[in-house]
Chains A and B, each alone.
Chain A
Amino acid sequence: MSEKDTMIRLEGIKKRFRTKAGELEVLHGVNADIKKGEVFGIIGLSGAGKSTLVRCINLLERPTAGKVWLDGVELTALPEKELREQRRHMGMIFQQFHLLMQRTALENVCFPMEISGVPKAQAKTKALELLELVGLSDRTDSYPAQLSGGQKQRVAIARALATEPKVLLCDEATSALDPNTTAGVLSLLKDINERLGITIVVITHEMSVIQEICDRVAIIDGGLIAEEGSVEEIFRAPKTKIGQELVMHEGSNREAYTGKLPYCYRLVFNGGKENEPVLGEMMIETTGVVNILAANTRTIDGQDFGQMVVQFPEEKELREKMIQYLRERGVVVEEVEYV
């Protein structure tokens, strides 16, 4: 990838916090290249350091070590005043929206323009346009307290777009919303990415969010990027344990199982549901029975993927025969740890 295709470059980002218990290193040297115009996902379990990492991108949090570039400008080398200028190229939205409670939706969207000195009338015109873009033309004079969570997030998105940023940073932007509202907000983000060409960085702990809108994804674990690749790659064959965990537990009730189950495998069916009967055929053919632990279907880039986590029988010979049968029919089978 050439220099000029890169929107955000992170180089050796380390972040240590000083706490009462001593120094805590949360990020151990994160590298990432986020391309212009892509939707880049960062996924990880709670406490993995996702929020810290995204806050290091716009330097709300100063990295202890490492460099951050935005469109060729090294942000970590800038003095405060110039950094503030650069921040106008990056919009940010948050899980808890963080709107100004004493301002209307319209006034909230005007806020960043007020700060950067855009004339009032011009700011208002632009704000009305943006509120229309996010589908809130009829709520311009409402205060945040009068809006639903999804509407508040839409105001926050409009506000983040007001300075015509190159990048939109989203930290768990849909985590406080119900599934329907989440879908609406995600499709709005995708739309913004496609129509305005804005690079989007999505932080989430939900694989479904990644699958919905991301082009590429990085999995963060223990303060490091564990693996990175296209969403399809990661979903089809996660290489790391954390990757498998995130992909597998999507939509399943992990509390239902206690302890580690033996002989667990993850099956991926290309083409989704239609190909799942192969499992039944296999069971008839080999007379071996599997125990289905989790299953779902996902559409990634218009392609259906069905995935299942199953437990095979203990008997080694039978188990290998069954796996052989599936593999011959194009099913991806990999042993996993299912806890």
Chain B
Amino acid sequence: MAELGDICKRCKKKVTTVTSRKDTFCENCFIRFIRGKQRKQMQDDKFKVKFKVKPDHTKLRVLLDFENNEESYVLLDSVISMLMEQSNQGPKAVLGFELIVSVINDSPDFQFDLAKLKNFYGIEELQKLGVSFIEIDCNSFVTDNKFEQLSLDIKKFQTLKIKDDIEDTNIKSYSELLHQAKDKTTREDFSIIVHEDITIKTAVDNKCSIILKSDSMTRMAVTILSDTIRGRGAEIPRHCDNKYIGTFEMMHPLSDILNSEIKTYIKILGIDKLSPSLSVENVNSNLSTKSKTVNDMISEYFQTLEIEYPETVSTVVKIGGKLSNNDENIANLHRCEICKFPIYHDPKQWLEQITVLDHVPPQNEEEKANYQRYLESINNDKEIESSNQTVDDTSVNLCYGCMVTLGVSEVNNLQWPQRPTREEILSEYILDDDE
């Protein structure tokens, strides 16, 4: 293996300073290596520079889902460098696409400085490259949506919709929406659902037909394990395949890049100056296990494997890519009221099968007396409860993952935005659908 400090075998000029994948690079060649991985994922003709365009040519519009993480900064940088290359191909070159960067402030520690970012690349340069930014306040998602009131009986695996379109919702902000759940992982689940919703709506509103997700290979591996652990194994193919629904495409240009490479990239180009969020190293490892989310724990797990089992991340992503959820019947499946994903098996039936809830009846006088006292105690509660109940409660479907996550948080009542499914959002806009 080549040693650090040797002459770089790629450019044969500079000295190597970076090691990755058992190879050494000089800084320039490392950056080119990473960008090459992103280019490969976006090598389709539709992204390429054009020299002859018809007058009615409508430019491809691409949305970059910019999140509060290192990957997003690297993805943005790499795509901007791609556009720069295109713009350098002579005066007749027409850039292959327009880039719309959507920034949702849905993370509590998100310190995003748009002015600083624009200055880093140059305001005029960004304009020339057709890069624009949209900042979205996640609270508007809460205020723009109507809410429904769900009542959950976790013990019976049943959910009722108590009210449609509540006028007097006490949920006024994004944070209040999440804090209906006490468990951190449940809040994380909520925020993932809402984030995807806002992103898709933004893409549709801005006439983008492609969404670039910033997930690195490491993060995809985390997502695959995390879906598995949260009972959402059926959703893995959504995160691994590029195709999303209809003509609408979800892409992962960094899917072949490791987290450690993301960090190196940021360091080399000095991107860490752009946000304090980027310099915070491993804040989580100081937390106790109890206060970590499932994703935190899995990320740390992969970090511990990095040295002895470095191939694990790519192994997991590869097997994830082999999974499918092609159910011919998918259009007829019930959708989950909360996450809107198809329900492949009725979770209620499954749970009843494996968690028995009946009991051994009282065997003697003392036990009968105890039961009597219990009945009296709940009768008092029941009267209060039944007085606020409306008549037209309808039973709604929850997927297994949502049922479990609400159960963990012991949420009995949930006010949740009434949203269309992704297909419904898209069907308003998509005229002809190839698939």
Q: Do A and B interact? A: no
B binding-site residues for A, Cβ under 8 Å: none
